[in-house]
Structure 1
Amino acid sequence: MRQLDRMENQYTKPLVLICSGNANFYVLLAHILASEGFQTLLLGEEEVVDQAALRPITAIILDSAQDPELTVRTCAAIKANEITSRIPTIALISSGNERYYLALLKAGIDENFVRPVSPARLLAYLGSLPHNGADDKQPTDPAREETAAIFGALRIEPGRRLVRYGDEGAQFGRIEFNLLRCLLEAPGRVRSRLELIEAAWPSNRYVQPRTVDVHVARLRRELERLTGRPLIRTIRATGYAIDIDDGAD
């Protein structure tokens, strides 16, 4: 019975996958995360996608200290996989390698931290995430209680961060979905980058305007893939607006 209890506890703890070539760094990071109730697993970049697809994962941490370009490729592989694409993925960038920041954003990274990262900042970010897919299972999640909304031909389902257009649908990451909701609050109205930052990111986080541009570009591409037309307009030196059509073709 005790063995069964231990096995159950192992699979109910929030699990964080860590890709790092530095075993000592992993041991330190694993200890920090364990102190806050997280379970960790050390993996190589070549196996992280396969392993992440096997079980519920809270987050994936990619340590880029040894090979930043490999980290970019690994992030792109995670985000290109249908099963793992929605797992929050964090890159730890060594000081001096900040030039990889935009490359990681374009690859789909959800968050970047420059090493040495404050444990409190990392834990605060991880603590804000749904644990092991819990947001898809907990009926008491406030977002679950929000009803679907219709904007022209778009149907928005907040609980699943799902957008439907006719018979097609697309699920969005948390930041992109928050950006979309902000734009949809007033279709046609121009939203400044500051407004979008306030709507999509936690208040205690510094976000560069270029970061907003990358996430909006990602949102625009996915909406265009879904609807077959560009919905988001760029207003130079100002911000962005969304135009909603009346119906699907």
Structure 2
Amino acid sequence: MRPKIMVVEDETAIVTILRYNLERAGFAVEEANDGEEALWRIREVKPDVLLLDWMLPKLSGLELCRQLRRDPETRNLPIIMLTARGEETDRVRGLDSGADDYVPKPFSPQEVVARIRAVLRRIRPAFSEEVLSYADLQMDLAAHKVTRSAEPVHLGPTEFRLLRFLMEHPGRVFSREQLLDGVWGQDIYVEPRTVDVHIRRLRKALNGENLPDLIRTVRSAGYALDAQGTAA
């Protein structure tokens, strides 16, 4: 599953360079051109890493970073600041506002890619591991095998991708549309209700005989991998 990077930058040329290099490196890329747009887009898209320019129209990157850190839903979102403000005091302000890393302009796209990978390894180790674990569930990505309580779980290709996506983001609630984008891809049209069909199949395969449900349904919101497994 490709990690999703959101680039919040108002300079078109920089966005183009970043998109080109990030997609070449295997990332999915989303964009926002000002701070206010980024605020609602982040909640809609749920990126894995935010590349955030300091100087933005409507809402500065610094204030956006502070707001995201105050919100429980985005408190742990990895944020890398991109800015022409390279003084030490500015770097300290950026980090104090909640950024995880800081890259001054002009920057090397290869360095940005390396910084993203480093943040993902540190904060979201699932992206660099070959075995994902949650509760009594294990997914071996190299062998393409899933076990629960050491017993094999047999999944179809779509259910495997769906489970992998959920295991890479445990506890996070995703709407049907977000699951379609993350699992099926944005270039493929699939009816949102198709997600429900595959969730049912995944539940049936995972739960077996009287095992607790690991997938939580959140009414009017979507689904999450959650050991509580109860509807909300």
TM-score of the superposed pair, with normalisation by structure 1: 0.45
TM-score normalised by L of structure 2: 0.48
